[in-house]
Structure 1
């Protein structure tokens, strides 16, 4: 596992559905190692701090292996085309166990959650359903916290320090939350370790399970009548 490219970007403007929206989606590869702290890389901005950035989304990683699958797109898919800070090799979403800790350069990162692509990815590529395509393929990328600030650059080795035994990966969280919404047993499994998930996602999963209980109760009541 290794870092292919580290990228950062300034806030700029994108056009979307006839309006202008701020975004730092367009990032530029750094020429050397970059300082990273608990809120992300030095020189990297987030235009929407309510939905992006913060300690749990300090660094976005995107597997370089995915780029071949996007070669059919009409636009430029040169790295970094998906707004990632780190284009990584050797670790996919299905390898990234939530809570796993990695030494990367002189920093230490912890896998926090899968990325939920938003409309700005579509605006960046000029493809109206790009976010949906990314979500449906599972080639979303994933976020990491910065447990130990340091410097990360292209070519740095990504070394696993600790991988939790629960085995729940970013790919599995994404699948249950966004794709297989009726997989309630899997939703229950995710909720056995609620500290793995953002509070908003825990709320979504609990509502799904509560909805199932309400439906079962209604059926039982109907059968008695």
Structure 2
């Protein structure tokens, strides 16, 4: 039986300047809770990124992070995390990386969203949480969160319901792709092709999988 998917909170924010270990940096990872998100095809109103080359864009409009992971990290690091500690727009339950697949379509509020890619986090997460081990552990566990593209614009409220309206038939989960790319020591061509066959996969991860495929062929030739 599928457990009810639900929103814990929603957040948005604009880039701010911060200091970490004596070095100034600017980032949009610092977000504040809000009552609603006005979601467009390319961005959320009043939600911005500092480095558009690596963040944001139509394939990464909404960042989702499973709220279940907060308990895991707090127990591991004996550290209390503040809301939106991972820069997410939505924190919710029962939509973990192994429970959603690339191409799955959800309606949240009156916005229609499609899972586009897993998150490839950067070291700003360490700075945000003052924890130099966090990023490494995120990659090791696969607790990355993921992104949605927007199929229909709309408004998401903190009490909006989440409905899966079209599961993708190929059923390639966010966690499966993460495991294949980062942890599988001997990925097979069929495993790689299975991911590449999902046309809804965002270009960032498509290029990573193409590189993995090329490495596979190079290894065979050696």
Same fold (TM over 0.5): yes
The equivalences for 1:22-171 within 5 A come to 22-30=26-34, 32-72=35-75, 73-171=77-175
1:221 aligns with: none
Superposed CA RMSD: 1.9
User: 1:101·1:110 contact (CA, 8 Å) conserved in 2?
Assistant: yes
* DSSP-derived class of the 2:137 partner: helix
Decide which moves more: 200-209 or 85-94: 200-209
* DSSP-derived class of the 1:71 partner: helix
Decide which moves more: 96-105 or 126-135: 126-135
Larger Rg: 1
User: 2:12·2:37 contact (CA, 8 Å) conserved in 1?
Assistant: no
Q: CA deviation at 1:183?
A: 1.8
* DSSP-derived class of the 1:52 partner: coil
Report the TM-score, using the length of structure 2 for normalisation.
Answer: 0.89
Q: Indicate how the Cα distance of structure 1 residues 160 and 22 shifts in structure 2: closer, same or farther if over 3 A, else same.
A: same
Question: Alpha-carbon deviations, 1:143-178, whole Å to 9, x = none?
Answer: 001111111111211001111110001111221122
Q: CA deviation at 1:10?
A: 1.8
Aligned length: 216
Which stretches in structure 2 are left out of the alignment for 5+ residues?
A: none
User: 1:101·1:108 contact (CA, 8 Å) conserved in 2?
Assistant: yes
Q: CA deviation at 1:75?
A: 4.3
In the alignment, the residues of structure 2 paired with residue 70 and residue 212 of structure 1 have an alpha-carbon distance, to the nearest angstrom, of 34
Report the TM-score, using the length of structure 1 for normalisation.
Answer: 0.88
Which stretches in structure 1 are left out of the alignment for 5+ residues?
A: 219-225
